[in-house]
Chain A
Amino acid sequence: MAVAEQSQPVVTPSTKQKQIGQSYWSLVWWKFKRNRVAVVGGIILVAFYVSFVFIPEFFSPYQLEHTSDYAEAGPTPIHFVDQAGKFHLRPFVYGMEQTIDFVTRSRTYVEDTTRMYPIQFFGRGDPYKLFGFIPLDIHLYGVDQKSDPQAIVLLMGSDALGRDWFTRIMYGGRLSLMIGLIGQVMTIFFGTTLGVISGFYGGAVDQLIQRTTEFLNAFPQIPLFMALAAAIPTFWSPLAVYFILTIILSFVGWGGLARQVRGLILSLREREYALAAKSAGASDSRIMFRHLLPGTMSHVVVIATLAIPGMILAETALSWLGLGLRPPLTSWGVLLFDAATVRAIHNTPWELWTVPFIIVTILAYNMLGDGLRDALDPYGTR
């Protein structure tokens, strides 16, 4: 108690001092925090990136390669109350019996209420390597497979090879979310660099860069993607295809950003601090990238955030068309490709679970981007 009282007057001046030295970004953060919708979007995205990109091994009950006998099984019902009407605090699933209708050739699964498998949280399952080097076998949830290999929990059903669809969605999210982020980082790099150079020097350089962006923008996007994607040799490894696809997506995307950055630089370069930097002996590149570029950063962040969904969708669309990523890689587009037949929609409608994940991601990005735009605009009234 005495300690708390003593520390009180010490804490107050230091926090006050911090407020005096507040930078632009801390003000932005303060404003951003008050925008509920944007914060929710941000939290969703952080959750998605952590669980899908960094540690899907832990959050998914199985490994990606884990196949089972339960092909095209629907989502496993999760129970709290057993046949005898007894309530269990720990949810459980029943074992499943497969029957095949030999007339229609369709599989149906019936719950076998004699076999009960409680769902384990943080239980042991498929071994994996966390971040590629920490060997672990703990999963967020799952059923005990060691005692009964027949036990399985399929939160969102399974595919034709009996793989857990939810696991596939998580691993698919890894590639789809990463392609958006990596592609956008490359877009920012190309777009801002070329935009700054274009705006700062003007003249012939400007003409060249701007006409190039116009040329790229004049192309219909999907055919351009198709042409570029079709140029990828089929014998390349899926990983190489992935990187090439990222480069293609950012190659098409940098033009708009370069144009916006150029416009901002055109006005910023007339500011007196550009002249002051020059008169202090700064070189052109120093003026461009140290003095002028930071002034465009708030716009770039917003534009980039709002453009990431476009990249994720582009990957999805290309893969769905069969031009982007291909199995054995798993991305949301690849999963959609699997689900894109009438037969799949009829027999395995749970494969459409991919769609809400895509929609939520896109919405979250838009919510976040909108909030950032409001927070970064110091003259905004909202």
Chain B
Amino acid sequence: MAAVRGLPEAPPIVLDTRPAARPKRGHGPGGRPVGLSILLWVGVVAFTLLSVFPYLVMLSTTFKSGQELAGPAHWIPDHFDLDGIARTLSDPSIWGYFKNSFYIAAGTTLVVLLAGIPAAYVLARHEFRGRKLFLDLVLITQMFSPVVLLIPLFRLYKEVGLLGSMEGVIIAGSAFTLPFSIWLLTGFFRAIPVEIEEAARIDGYGRFGILVRVILPLSIPGLVATGMYAFIIGWNEFIFAVTFLTANPANQPVSVGVFASIGKWDIDWQRLMFMAILGTAPVLAVFAAIQKQLDRGFASIASGR
């Protein structure tokens, strides 16, 4: 991988000149001075605390009864109260929220993959008139915020009957997820050696045959990663859902359900935080699973391909 333009690729032998006994740590060879070690650990602790703070708040609050929450703030619950969890799980409307979140996330994944795979494939492998124009247009969509499109989309959806439906949220959310997904997929498709494709072509496969029988089987990890990325975005969808589904609470996902309940007078924070945990846990698991593939995607961006 020629990572940096203008730099000659170093011969691989260079690596062998390093003394074998020295542990390889960090960027350069050699150990780390004590001062830097301290700095490193200060950084590690600080970033960890900032990252986990909201999750600790969720956990801590989930186990505190309303009475305890009304008292002075503290982190460790006095007596771990499980009533909030029971109240949440016994409420049938909670499952509705989850079903909706899942439907929207799965729908977004499907639409993004169906639209993204063919586009990424021709963009990765073929030269055609308008290719650069398409890429530029895709780049420009990245400037858009969902907010600036809400009013025209609202009107359009009312006209075509998508207002209040989860499909409307899926369509809008997919369009915003598509550009980065195409980018990711293009990187994964490019990583497949052209020679394999050439061989398939000589065997008589057309473009569609090559895509389905050669490219897709070879890029399953990439497809899974992109699909999961779309799933996470769909699961976390908020702004379209809160706008288009206001009039139809039966179709609202978890994020909107939680938000809707903080507008009320008497907020049951204990129950709300457990809902937030339930609404966060699945995507965190998915995200942990695709970290490596996303890293590869970022690396390909970093190397300027």
Binding between chains A and B = no
B interface list, Cβ under 8 A from A = none
A interface list, Cβ under 8 A from B = none
